[in-house]
Amino acid sequence: MTTREWKSVFRPSPPPPPLNEAPMDTKILIAILTCNQGVYAARRDACLATWAKNSPVDVKCCASEDFGIPAEASRIYTNPTGHVNIPGQSLNYRDRAICAWTLSKGYTHMFKADDDVYVWIDRLLKSGFQNYAYSGYVVPARPWYCSGGAGYWLNRQAMHVIANSAVNDCEAEDWWVGGCLGRAGIHPHSDPRYVGEFDPVVKPDQITLHAIKDPAMMYQIHTLYGTPDLGLNTALQAELVHPWGSGGQGTKVVPEYARRFGLNTMFETGTCQGRMIATMLPQLNDIYSVELSPTYFAEASARFAGNAQVHLYQGNSAEVLKQVLPSLSGKRLLFWLDAHYSEGDTAKLSDDLHSPIVTELDAIFALSPNAVILIDDARMFTGEKGYPTLIGLRDYVAYKAPGWTFEVRQDIIRIHQ
């Protein structure tokens, strides 16, 4: 932005009159600003299917269509699907229109999110937004650059300012919003928990993550880090058998599923000492198994040396799956996924990644589309250390394999057609 453009944002103008209203109960709208076409529609749907699915507050998808018609910018209507459509010439016309609409519906606060933002709603609603007219990420070196990408809160006063401001020649929404607020005497509050630039390492207190351009990535972020639906997650957890750990159930369930589906080839992740291999050898023709720990790989290699049925690999299970599965494309496989870190000599990819389950499943769904999948240690799926939540995993499977069965019993997740 040039000096002239900077000054134009802050050119003197009388602020709108203050809102002289009685205190109101908090009424919140989360506005997902999007478009009803192409990848934008897919991203919108990904938001609705993941982080916004069980929102305790109102969520509206707001599509800015027909750019280039500024005279129509203030005309807002609700289409039959319930999405609010906002015609406009630019993002600034769009923001002005949605602020006007939100005020007209009696909302006291609006959180604006683009369709490429993931939101942790529980943290969002506990963020302290009520204390500020604007709360979001503000670039430190640019105190009036209100980052639209990361999402931000506006209260009624701030929405009134935006709804009644003229759209100037500053194209950037971030500058325009900051300029409108600055001229009205509102100082934006900056909160670094709203993250405007994509970073795959999600922080424990993070509220938003911006620039998720691929809808599939939205589902994956939800799977890895999404806020669990506690009611549903509790219902799934209630199906697990105590004491924790499959406690030998795996050596009963895996043979049962091999018989049930008539399978004779198994791919295991997490060889450990080879217990499952030994269990399944009498029943299967071929067993493929990968182990990250050099110690356990050496033990299993010695144990099954010379056995032509057993094919052992050492390394990252997801990478080995990608390398080996193409050679098995003509077979329907039984997968036993047990490559989870569990202390001792077991291995992990990093301190922050105790389970490679999502990348394993990505490879399986891409390369073995008719698979029968069993995953051990369902109790570990809490949304931490690389584990998705059970609900997140269920939603991920529904996205990758619509119509497939997903159930949890005896601490084992079961996925199949």
Sheet containing 194-195: order of strands? 118-119, 208-209, 194-195
Residues 171 and 149 in one domain: yes
Which string of DSSP letters, residue by residue, matches 18-32? P---------EEEEE
Residues 135 and 201 in one domain: yes
| pLDDT higher at 295 or 172 | 295
Query: Residue 297 belongs to a domain with what CATH number?
Result: 3.40.50.150
Specify the amino acid at residue 169. Answer: D
Confidence of residue 322 (pLDDT cuts 50, 70, 90): very high
Residues 152 and 173 in one domain: yes
How many domains would you assign to the chain? 2
Of 162, 195, 225, the domain-final residue? 225
Specify the amino acid at residue 141. Answer: A
Residues 210 and 341 in one domain: no
Residues 128 and 7 in one domain: yes
| pLDDT higher at 69 or 222 | 222
Inter-residue contact 268 to 289 (CB < 8 Å): yes
Residues 105 and 191 in one domain: yes
Residues 329 and 280 in one domain: yes
Of 190, 205, 225, the domain-final residue? 225
Confidence of residue 304 (pLDDT cuts 50, 70, 90): very high
Confidence of residue 343 (pLDDT cuts 50, 70, 90): very low
pTM over 0.85: no
Inter-residue contact 142 to 229 (CB < 8 Å): no
Of 184-188, 336-340, 381-385, which has the strongest mean pLDDT? 184-188
Q: Which long-range contacts (CB under 8 A, 24 or more apart) does 4-13 make?
A: 5/169, 5/170, 5/175, 8/168, 8/169, 8/170, 9/144, 9/168, 9/170, 9/175, 9/176, 9/178, 9/179, 9/182, 10/144, 10/179, 10/182, 10/183, 11/183, 12/183, 13/183
Residues 212 and 355 in one domain: no
Confidence of residue 43 (pLDDT cuts 50, 70, 90): confident
Question: Residue 309: helix, strand or coil by DSSP?
Answer: coil
Residues 220 and 332 in one domain: no
| pLDDT higher at 301 or 351 | 301
Query: Residue 12 belongs to a domain with what CATH number?
Result: 3.90.550.50
Q: Percent of the chain having pLDDT more than 70?
A: 74
Inter-residue contact 110 to 153 (CB < 8 Å): yes
Range of the domain at 239: 230-416
Question: Residue 197: helix, strand or coil by DSSP?
Answer: coil
